[in-house]
Amino acid sequence: MSNFTVTPKTKVKISSKRAHYEKSIIYQVLDEARICHIGFVYEGYPVVIPTIFGRKGDTLYIHGAMGSRMLKTLEEGADLSLNVTHLDGLVLARSAFHHSMNYRSVVVFGKAEKVGSDEEKLIGMKVITDQVLKGRWEEVRQPNEKELKITKILKIKLEEVSAKMRTGKPIDEPEDYELDVWAGELPLVLTPQKPVTDPDSKKDLPVSESVSRLF
């Protein structure tokens, strides 16, 4: 699979050995995320908003209410920066200076475009829903005409993109390895817990397959 073109915006300058531009790696980091953060300038000041999203090929979809300031600003052509980060562990060194974290992150630069047709709106909604939980779209009621009308969907083309990752053990100063201080990695994993059925449910139904397959 090909790489994204490295640009002045996406070139990782600090710890460049941790940079990745391969599409396969970037797709994996994006696809494992359920939320992203989007940065933009609104009325002269910077704003960062968390939101759910979905990926289909080289396109990301985001959605929200028609009155959303973020969607309105992006629709008008504002530059954006989108970030996804997975925290995989704490790196505990012998010195405070060398403490770190193991992580996988992706940064996207670009602009967003409004999705106009109901056909592509449905595609965007499906992609976002299945990003939240794979297979969920097929289990639920599809959006009706009113819901499509009051929902705005934007798409972001993946062009200027890079990933950065850290893995492995702490790296200490040579003399610090003699210190009586425990050092190592503390892995962190996001683990689903037991599902809790909506107390307002009218029927006693088994947990959906999209949920049960996680266990």
Domain CATH for 159: 2.30.110.10
- Answer yes or no: is pLDDT of 1 > 70: no
Answer yes or no: is 11 within a domain: no
Answer yes or no: is 75 within a domain: yes
Domain total for the chain?
A: 1
Answer yes or no: is 7 within a domain: no
For 52-107, write each residue's pLDDT tens digit: 999 999 999 999 999 999 999 999 999 999 999 999 999 999 999 999 999 999 99
Q: Binning pLDDT at 50, 70 and 90, where does residue 148 land?
A: very high
Q: Binning pLDDT at 50, 70 and 90, where does residue 32 land?
A: very high
Answer yes or no: is 186 within a domain: yes
For 175-205, write each residue's pLDDT tens digit: 999 999 999 999 999 999 999 999 999 999 9
Name beta bridge partners: 154: 62, 114
The arithmetic mean of pLDDT across residues 130-144, rounded, is 96
Answer yes or no: is 147 within a domain: yes
Answer yes or no: is 3 within a domain: no
Mean per-residue pLDDT over the chain, rounded: 96
Answer yes or no: is 159 within a domain: yes
- Domain with 131 in it: 16-212
> The tokens 């910077």 sit on which residue?
46
The encoded tokens of residue 211 equal 């949920």
- What's the pTM value of the predicted model, to 2 decimals? 0.92
